[in-house]
Every structure is written in structure tokens, then in C-alpha cells.
Amino acid sequence: MNRSFIARNPSVLVFLALLALFTLVVSVLSEGFGIGLVSTSFVKTLGKTLCLCLIAVAMDLIWGYAGILSLGHFAFFGLGGYMIGMWLMYERTRQIVVSSLSEGVLPPTPEEIETGIAGQIFGVVGSADFPLIWAFADSLVIQLALVVLVPGILALVFGWLAFRSRVTGVYLSILTQAMTLGLSLYLFQNASGLRGNNGLSGLQNLPGVSAPQSVVSMWFFWASALALALGYLLVAWVVSGKFGSVIRGIRDNEARVRFLGYSVESYKLAVFTLTACLSGIAGALYYPQAGIINPAEVAPIASIYLAVWVAIGGRGRLYGAVIGAAFVSLVSSWFTGGQAPDINLGFYTIQWVDWWLILLGLSFVLVTLFAPSGMGGLVDLLMRGKKRGGNT
């Protein structure tokens, strides 16, 4: 990352500056560190939105630049969340179990503690044993590594099978959709070892931390902002050079790139895996702010929303993905959260909780038909107008 990279991509600098400013403003207004104008729950919403922006940047890399419409990236996002959730839940439960057992006459044995934790966590699914996949749940370091490794390895194996067979276009989209549906259905089972449809909960409580949520929420907000900044920088750097040229070439004419001597499959696999890892990180930051993760989060619809955000924001430009994810997800939570006023037409009342999806679908269709470059295209239009004005 040299000077010429930033110099050639002024939009990266602008984005980072705006993100820093936004982070500062929210910090000053927060309850935890500032004057308290922004509630803790809204800080969490904003922090979660930043994570959604990060996965949208990943989605833009794979779809906008490499032309692979993956409808399964929320599977990787969810897996990242589950991996960190396992440690959070294990460690917090362990502390509770230890403190309750220490009230006895004899100090508790490790077996008693282990059985206590397992009973607490898995009682809801009628089990009292730790499944094998929880083997490392006591280690924060390993679970943090798994946040990247589990989505990465799944993407590597899945991508290798799919790309090697030259599955492309809508068929690949369907395949990724099937993957996320399969994962979701698997997780719904009580025997999956991840508490079935109960999911993992209480994730907002950091074990061993007595700071109030108003403070913890700001920590996660900052971490999310930092992750988005680094992720944006990484992806912008990846697409800035010849690698970006090659993957855009693959998007526009795969066969031609092959005849230039590039192994198209390796490039697709690299991008698929990298974006899966980024999605895992985004998920690991998102769910501690949401407090709970359950298999519904991995349902296919989530990944379709992701594609809608990126399309509305504008494909093939990273700030477009960020604008789309931030705008649509915030507006969406406003409408579906019941805050939007109902419209009474006399004979019929439009309730936004029901009608929001129709509005979203309609705007998706309209953007696809009439503004393929999305909201990010407006930025281009402004810049071009300015340039033209300067020349004449």
C-alpha cells in the first residue's frame, strides 16, 4: 500500500475521513462516553449497521467486481457469529457456574464445573454433554481464529467444487442459496450442537467485564468501525491493481481471460474465500451487539437482502455498497420496527410492517431497470458535473 494507491483512489480517503467523523460524532453523543443524546440501543443499531456495511463491501467485491452473484454470504456471516458466540456463552456460563458452586462446602471439581456448564447451555435441547464442536469453546484465541477459518474453509471447499465444474451465473447463485438453506436447516436441529432454534443468547454480556452496556456498546461500535475501515481499505487495494483488472475481466468475459492464460477458477476461488472470511469477521462483530444468534439469521432471505442492498447502493463501487447497506438496513429497521406512522386511507390502512417489503421490492426493481449504477451512481454524476464545470 503505497502513496500512489491512495492518490489513485481519492474516494478511499474521503470514505475513511467520513467514517472517522461519524465515529467521533457518535462517541461524543453516546451515553457511555459523551453527552447521552444517542441511546445505547441506537449505538448498537449503528454498530450493527457498520458490520452490515462490511459484509456489503465483501459482497460488492464478489458480485460487483468479480461478477459472481453469491446468495449465500450470510451463511459465512452467521458462522462467524456462532464461532464467537460459543466462547461468549461458554465463558459467561462458566463464571456463573463456578460462583454458584463455590458456595458449597468443598471446592468444585473440574468435572462438576464442566457438567454444570453443559447442563446450563444444553438443557434447553435436552442434553447435558458438550458436543465435539465445542471442544475449543473455552479458548478465546482459538474461537477468534475459527471466526475466520470456519467460513474460509467452507468457502474454499464449496467454491473449489463449484468453480472447478464451471458452474456459473444463475446456477451458481442457486447453488450458494442451497448451501445457506442447508446450513440453516442443519442448525435448526437440536442435535446440531448449537442449541437448535434457541440459538446462542446473552452474547451482549462480555464475560469478566463489569462495565455497563452503554460502555460495552461503544467498544463494539469502535471495533466495528475499525473493521469496516480496514476491510474497505483491503478490498479497495485488492481491486486497485492488476488483480482488480483480472476479476473485472472475468466478470465481463470469462473465456477471454482464460485465453490470456489466467486460471479463472483460482481467481474466483480466491475472491470467494476472501469475501467469506470478511463476512465471518463482520458476523463476529454483529452478533455480540445483537445479543442473540439463531438459525433464522442464516436463512436464504438474509443473503438476498444483502444482494438488494448492494444493487440499490450501486455495484462495482465500494462506497455504493456501504451507502446501500447503511441506508436500506436503517430504513428497514425504522419501517419494520413500528416507528413509521401508518397511513390511513379511510377504506384501508397501510401498515408499514407489512408494506415495507413491497416498497423494498419495488425499489429494487426500479433501480435495476432505471438506475443500474444505484445510489452510488449519483456520486459519479455529481463528480462528473463538477469536473465538467471545471473544464469549461
Partner 1 sequence: MSTLLEVSGVSVSFDGFRAINNLTFQIGNAELRAVIGPNGAGKTTFMDIVTGKTRPDSGHISWGEKNLSLIGMSEARIAQAGIGRKFQKPTVFEDQTVQENLLMALRKDRGPLAVLFFRPSAADLERVAELAGEIGLTDSLLRVSGELSHGQKQWLEIGMLLAQEPRLLLVDEPAAGMTPAEREKTTAILVEAAKTRAVVVVEHDMEFVRRLNCKVTVLHEGAVLAEGSLDHVTKNQEVIDVYLGR
Residue 372's SS3 state is coil
Q: Which is nearer to partner 1, 2 or 349 (CB)?
A: 2
Q: How far is the CB of 134 from partner 1 (least distance, A)?
A: 35
Q: How far is the CB of 271 from partner 1 (least distance, A)?
A: 9
Q: Which is nearer to partner 1, 259 or 347 (CB)?
A: 259
Residue 107's SS3 state is coil
Q: Which is nearer to partner 1, 230 or 357 (CB)?
A: 230
Q: How far is the CB of 165 from partner 1 (least distance, A)?
A: 13
Q: CA–CA distance from 340 to each of 26, 335, 343 (Å)?
A: 23, 5, 9
Q: How far is the CB of 269 from partner 1 (least distance, A)?
A: 8
CA distance 36 to 165: 55
Q: Which is nearer to partner 1, 256 or 384 (CB)?
A: 256
Phi-psi region of 346 (alpha: psi -120 to 50; beta: other; left: phi over 0): left
Q: CA–CA distance from 330 to each of 45, 190, 227, 384 (Å)?
A: 8, 33, 19, 29
CA distance 267 to 78: 24
Q: Which is nearer to partner 1, 76 or 267 (CB)?
A: 267
Q: Which is nearer to partner 1, 119 or 244 (CB)?
A: 244
C-alpha cell at 333: 429497521
Q: How far is the CB of 147 from partner 1 (least distance, A)?
A: 23
Residue 269 C-beta-side C-alpha neighbours within 13 Å: 18
Q: Which is nearer to partner 1, 117 or 310 (CB)?
A: 310
Q: How far is the CB of 4 from partner 1 (least distance, A)?
A: 8
C-alpha cell at 39: 441511546
CA distance 379 to 320: 9
Which spans of this chain sit near partner 1 (rule: CB under 8 A)? 2, 238, 241-243, 245-246, 248-249, 252-253, 255-256, 258-264, 266-267, 270
The residues, ordered by sequence, that sit 6+ positions from 81 with a Cβ below 8 Å of its Cβ are: 283, 284, 286, 287, 293, 297
Q: How far is the CB of 380 from partner 1 (least distance, A)?
A: 13
